[in-house]
Amino acid sequence: MKDYQLFLFDMDGTLVNSEPLKGQAIAKACAVYGAKVDYHHYQEVMGQNWGIVTQFFFDKANISPDINEFNEIFKKHYQALLLQALQLTPGALQYLTYLQLQGRTCGLVTSAAKWMVNDILQALNLTAMFEVIITKEDVSKHKPEPAAYLLALNKLSMSPNNTVIFEDSFAGISAGIASGCDVIAIQHEFNINNNLLVASKVISDFRELIL
């Protein structure tokens, strides 16, 4: 693999198995409003900004809840699911540790809200692994727009030519490519509806990258 200096990671579905958990939490929140919706519908919008995701589910469920109230209900269910079932992607910890030992710079770039990021990183003791953390609140344009990745590059004074991005959704891969960086896609059971072939490489276990 190319001798990259900066390694930028998406969070949900890339480093952790939180995509199906997020879908389940949204479905549980919809159920509070009397609507039954299959959480697998989240596969159709994963990686996109929260406004698009929630409106997609509201349309599916035929509900129009107050968004702030819905978000609080979602948060309660999501935090409970994270406590029960959160897991790292195979090889993720080994690869992050390997990069640290190699003296490489790592960053986290996600469309998730800061509270989600804090909950997950603290639960898995990963916060110290990243020299920059970009969340939903840091940019106004979200994936597939490249703003979040461009902000990370700027904060770390790094060039796209020396950077590789890890993503698991078409929206995220598109954002990475638009930033000028190389992109490696993470394949998992929940992103089967996403076209990952536009990435330069597709893996399912980070240990595939450790020489």
Task: Kindly report, residue by residue over 123-178, the tens digit of the pLDDT.
Answer: 999 999 999 999 999 999 999 999 999 999 999 999 999 999 999 999 999 999 99
For 7: left if phi > 0, alpha if psi spans -120 to 50, otherwise beta; the answer is beta
Q: Is 88 strand, coil or helix?
A: strand
Nearest-angstrom CA–CA distance, 13 and 175: 16
pLDDT of residue 1: 80
As a whole-number percent, the residues of the chain with pLDDT over 90 amount to 94
pTM for this predicted structure = 0.94
pLDDT at 211 over 90: no
